Chains A and B, each alone.
Chain A
Amino acid sequence: DTEVTQTPKHLVMGMTNKKSLKCEQHMGHRAMYWYKQKAKKPPELMFVYSYEKLSINESVPSRFSPECPNSSLLNLHLHALQPEDSALYLCASSQPGTVSGNTIYFGEGSWLTVV
């Protein structure tokens, strides 16, 4: 069982809606990630938070807004999305500064459909 939990598992939203995806990790990790995965494609990195600070933004459109309230929580706020944003959104975590710090553990994902 994964120790990275994501809610909701499924989300359908209109293009004018505002919604949020939530992620919680129970491993004491200090780095958290958002990935986007389209069907039959590998995950694509969106954002990285390290020690609660945004360290990587892969030129993601501003309609996606990440937030890291504390070391175990990560949110992705969604606003004015487009149908092409429909995808599986994966949260992940790792522990930086350790020998195995690059080992990234993923949650089960949130399926987003934009209508």
Chain B
Amino acid sequence: AQSVTQPDIHITVSEGASLELRCNYSYGATPYLFWYVQSPGQGLQLLLKYFSGDTLVQGIKGFEAEFKRSQSSFNLRKPSVHWSDAAEYFCAVGGRGNEKLTFGTGTRLTIIP
């Protein structure tokens, strides 16, 4: 069975501060990992993905994520957040030939001035 755990339901950070959102996964084969962002009332936008190769992946909007197989983690980071980053963030896991993407429960990010 595949699963994703996002341990932080809600995170508040100051504008300009660094950010790390945690994601742990369980998957029986080589995982494909994704981070999506959802602004209020909007659909999901793909931030970045990991399939293989370099374990540090760069995404859009200045985000990056690091795959750590030994820790079954795929944490999302940003060095300096902007007010527009306030949103819900979902981590997801899938696999090669697997049409089912399993999502975590999401982390809501609030930015304070």
Binding site for B on A (CB under 8 A): 2, 4, 6, 31, 33, 40-43, 45, 48, 50, 55-56, 90, 94, 96, 99-109, 111
Contacts and interface: CB of A to CB of B under 8 A. Distances in A.
B101 to A, nearest CB: 6
Chain B binding surface SS class: strand
B43 A102 contact: no
Interface of B: 32, 34, 36, 41-46, 49, 51, 90, 94-101, 103-106
19 contacts: A33-B99, A40-B106, A42-B104, A43-B103, A55-B99, A56-B99, A56-B100, A90-B44, A96-B97, A100-B51, A102-B32, A102-B94, A102-B95, A102-B98, A102-B99, A104-B101, A106-B46, A108-B43, A109-B42
A42 B92 CA distance: 10
Contacts of A55: 99
Given A102-B95, A102-B101, A42 B106 contact: yes
A32 B43 CA distance: 15
Contacts of A41: 105-106
A67 to B, nearest CB: 18
